[in-house]
Amino acid sequence: MSEEISKVVKQQVDIMELMKEVCELKATINQRDQKIELMEQRIDDLEQYSRIDDIVISGLETTHRSYARAAAGDRKGEDAPTEEQHSLEQQVLHFFNSKVIPLDSRNLFVTPFLKD
């Protein structure tokens, strides 16, 4: 009988140690989850800061992005020809000026194209 009691006591000790380890692991997981949330927030803040001056405009008339034009041309992946870039710039300026937002070409920085 005493042998059975000692087995039960040993099993209880093992169970208690495992429960303690599980609690420690849960605490570690919670700390890591909090750290991940903080890092995700920092990434979001940095991404927002990097886009602070960006405005996305859709609906401009472009033709240089079509496959047919790229395949037929010899520009090999280059961006729009100068005359088309000028046209896009004029469309942007016209749009803002029509909304009574003063803007001239010196205020435009870059006009990259976003994927559809």
Report the pLDDT value the prediction gives residue 28, as an integer from 0 to 100: 98
Is the pLDDT at 40 greater than 90, yes or no? Answer: yes
Q: Which residue has the tokens 């559809």?
A: 116
Q: What pTM, to 2 d.p., does this model score? A: 0.45
pLDDT in tens, 16-32: 999 999 999 999 999 99
User: What single string gives the DSSP state of each residue in 11-50?
Assistant: HHHHHHHHHHHHHHHHHHHHHHHHHHHHHHHHHHHHHHHH
Is the pLDDT at 56 greater than 70, yes or no? Answer: yes
Burial class (CB in 10 A: 0-12, 13-18, 19+), 22: exposed
**Which residue type sits at 50?**
S
Helix (H, G, I), strand (E, B) or coil at 62: coil
